[in-house]
Structure 1
């Protein structure tokens, strides 16, 4: 959640994420902080390099959790969460990363230790996740499905 708030603050987003507004803000920030605008010896050149990378990462992250993106990928998400079992899951802080058997990985934000320990102690983790995690937490697709040879 800290990461989401940090990126929203960077892009001056106070309510829901709108892709059109996000794209405009992204372009303006990139123009302002592009490393080529600064001389190699300038102390702001290093700052611009870090800031531009942060802007790029933030843009891709916010696009992945935007309501428009989620709506466009809802059919794929529903198919994955209903028909593909859980292969593996990891929890760090308030982030739960779930890898599915079809090769996709989703990140769920705001999953606290209490919910995670219930998932761990559940005799049927997939059933628990389906009822309590998949549709209750903010999520994004973090890794593409593995290509089959």
Structure 2
């Protein structure tokens, strides 16, 4: 959730993400922090390069968790979380990354370590995740679909 809050603060997003407002903020920030505005000898040029990368990453991240994006991809998400099994998962901080057997990967934000431990210890991990994670946490599709190669 820390990353979500940082990006919302960067783009001055108060509560729910509005894609139109986000796009306007993005364009204004890119104009303000574009590295070409600063001469290469200027120390602010390096700062502008870092800031512009952060702005681009933040924009793509916030678009991926926006309600409009989630609604557009809801059918695919529901199909994945009901039909595909769990191929792999990782937990770092409060982010749980689950890779499904259909090759899609989703990140779930705010998943505590005790809940992750319950997932690991569950005899039916998919059932546990379906009841306690898939519908309860902010999520985003984190990687492009990839074909799983047979081992």
So what's the TM-score if we normalise by structure 1? 0.98
SS of residue paired to 2:116? helix
In structure 1, how many angstroms separate the alpha carbons of the residues matched to 2:78 and 2:15? 26
**2:90 is aligned with 1:90:** yes
Q: CA deviation at 1:24?
A: 0.3
Residue in structure 2 matched with residue 9 of structure 1 by the alignment: 9
In structure 1, how many angstroms separate the alpha carbons of the residues matched to 2:85 and 2:17? 30
Q: CA RMSD in A?
A: 1.1
**2:14 is aligned with 1:18:** no
SS of residue paired to 2:142? strand
Gaps of 5+ in 2: none
SS of residue paired to 1:128? helix
In structure 2, how many angstroms separate the alpha carbons of the residues matched to 1:2 and 1:148? 31
Q: Could you list the per-position Cα deviations for residues 14-60 of structure 1 after superposition, in whole angstroms to 9, with x for gaps in the alignment? A: 11000000000000000000001100100100000000000000000
Gaps of 5+ in 1: none
Equivalences for 1:1-149 in 2 at 5 Å? Answer: 1-147=1-147
In structure 1, how many angstroms separate the alpha carbons of the residues matched to 2:62 and 2:105? 17
Q: CA deviation at 1:114?
A: 1.1
Residues paired across the two proteins, number = 149
Q: Could you list the per-position Cα deviations for residues 65-98 of structure 1 after superposition, in whole angstroms to 9, with x for gaps in the alignment? A: 0000000000000000000000000001100000
